[in-house]
Amino acid sequence: MDNAPIKLSARLVRRWGLRLKAFRQRHGHTRVPVKYLRDPGLGRWCAQTRRDFHRLRVERLKELLRLHFNFGWDLAFVVGFCSLADFKRRHGHCNAPSRGTGSARLARWVRRQRSAAGRLSPRRRHLLERLGFDWRPYETQWQQRYAELCEFRRVHGHCEAPQAGRTAALGRWVTKQRGRWHHPGREGTPLSPGQKQLLDKLGFDWAPKDSHWQTRLAELQAYQRRYGFGKVPSREAKPGLGAWLGWQRKRRAMPAAERKQLEALGVEWHPVQSHWQRRYGELRAFQQQFGSCKVPQGWQPNPALGNWVALQRKRHQRGTLAPNQRRLLDELGFDWVGNPMPPRKSWEERFRELRNFKQRFGHCQVPAMWAENMPLGAWARHQRVLHQHGKLPAHQRRRLDELGFCWRVAHRIYTASRRRTGSPAQR
């Protein structure tokens, strides 16, 4: 049987349609008998059209529906087919979604055709295939995603597509394939052996969390062999490894085997407390050797210990030091005051120092790095800055003018005055 589409012209449909319309007006229906004596040609045309409806174009089928043509048992199918043809013209495919405005009924019709694919008449099946009907949309979509994954692996060298950006849909599909394999009951249809074989050819990782853990563990072993046993990974040496190790410390239900592997590498589960205990042991040794806890800043045998001691004083002032830590420090006779900064001198005191400086050297150009009194040089420079911005009080400016204070200091004069008033060793 020739299945090529029939080029039934609109003029021909219109001519037979007028005769069919007259029949409907006379009898109230369009079920024209094959041997209709009043118009024998109309009966033969209706029979032939019902027999070859699968070869008609969609536009002609719609015109026949408007004429209330009697398709017999195929009437409901032709109505659904015309709706699907309109859907494909708008969206480019035949996969009508079950959720959408006006497409729920069409989606149910499409599902019925797929479920009855083996029982459909050749005419209906041929008409759907002319439209490009997809009998297995899930397999088609799977093949499309698989092709995208092949391309992703060719570019990036792995199958871990991120679930963000342009690869978001592919990343979700990858996760779903793992669920279909590990939990077939929860993720819909199980993964077929053929699909799993295709994914295995790409080196698909079915347990990425375990693989990631083993990879990070190997990185940690290599890092500690290079930088020292138990050393915390730095961001510069190994990006991401320190954050991973911090996450391992926060895990509540870590498997015993993983915990044992990390402990074998000397991983500390509470590094902040361990660090505090180590510094406390160093301070106790210092106290036993020197009889006090006043560790100088930058103490050469252990420069970090002086900074740690100063930090404990700050934590005590802020109230963030733990009670048990304060108790342990009190037992060593810890000095909570330390070496307090001398109080800032008033403007009058600095002015008297400047006056004494002029009596000794005959000018007020105090070098910025004068060894005998460095704060005086900074104070003199600060007065010039205040004067430049108009923030120096008038009475202070008047007193400085009376003293012969120079508001603008040339570099050559400043250098010469620095040589004249140099450090005691230079003089």
pLDDT score, position 81:
93
Question: Residue 190 and residue 174: Cα distance in Å, rounded?
Answer: 14
pLDDT in tens, 309-338: 888 888 888 888 888 888 888 888 888 876
When pLDDT is averaged across residues 376-395 and rounded to a whole number, the result is 91
Q: Which two tokens stand for residue 46?
A: 């209706």
What is the reported pTM?
0.43
pLDDT score, position 185:
63
- CA dihedral for 229, 230, 233, 234, sign (positive or negative): negative
Does 41 score more than 80 pLDDT? yes
Question: Residue 58 and residue 243: Cα distance in Å, rounded?
Answer: 62
Does 394 score more than 90 pLDDT? yes
Does 258 score more than 60 pLDDT? yes
pLDDT score, position 353:
93
Mean pLDDT of all residues in the chain?
Answer: 80
pLDDT score, position 209:
64
Question: Residue 375 and residue 372: Cα distance in Å, rounded?
Answer: 9
Measuring CA to CA, which residue among 165, 102, 103, 111 is closest to residue 138? 111
Range from 67-76, 192-201, 277-286 that averages highest in pLDDT: 67-76
6 strand-pairing partners? 56
pLDDT in tens, 207-226: 666 566 666 777 777 777 77
Question: Residue 199 and residue 328: Cα distance in Å, rounded?
Answer: 60
Rounded to the nearest 10°, the torsion over CA 135, 137, 142, 144 is 100
The 3-state secondary structure of 242-310, one letter per residue: HHHHHHHHHCCCCCHHHHHHHHHCCCCCCHHHHHHHHHHHHHHHHHHHHCCCCCCCCCCCCHHHHHHHH
Side-chain half-sphere exposure of 221, counting CA atoms within 13 A: 10
Does 348 score more than 80 pLDDT? yes
Q: Which two tokens stand for residue 129?
A: 């295939």
Question: Residue 423 and residue 211: Cα distance in Å, rounded?
Answer: 67
Question: Residue 108 and residue 98: Cα distance in Å, rounded?
Answer: 7
Does 416 score more than 50 pLDDT? no
pLDDT score, position 347:
92
pLDDT in tens, 150-206: 988 888 888 878 878 888 888 888 888 877 777 666 656 777 888 888 888 888 777
Contact call for residues 325 and 377 (beta carbons, < 8 A): no
DSSP one-letter string for 356-407: HHHHHHSS----TT-TT-HHHHHHHHHHHHHHHTT-S-HHHHHHHHHHT--S
159-167 long-range contacts (CB < 8 A, ≥24 apart) are 159/199, 159/202, 159/203, 159/204, 159/205, 160/205, 160/208
Does 23 score more than 50 pLDDT? yes
SS3 category, 56: strand
- Angle at which helix 271-290 crosses helix 323-331, to 10 degrees, equals 20
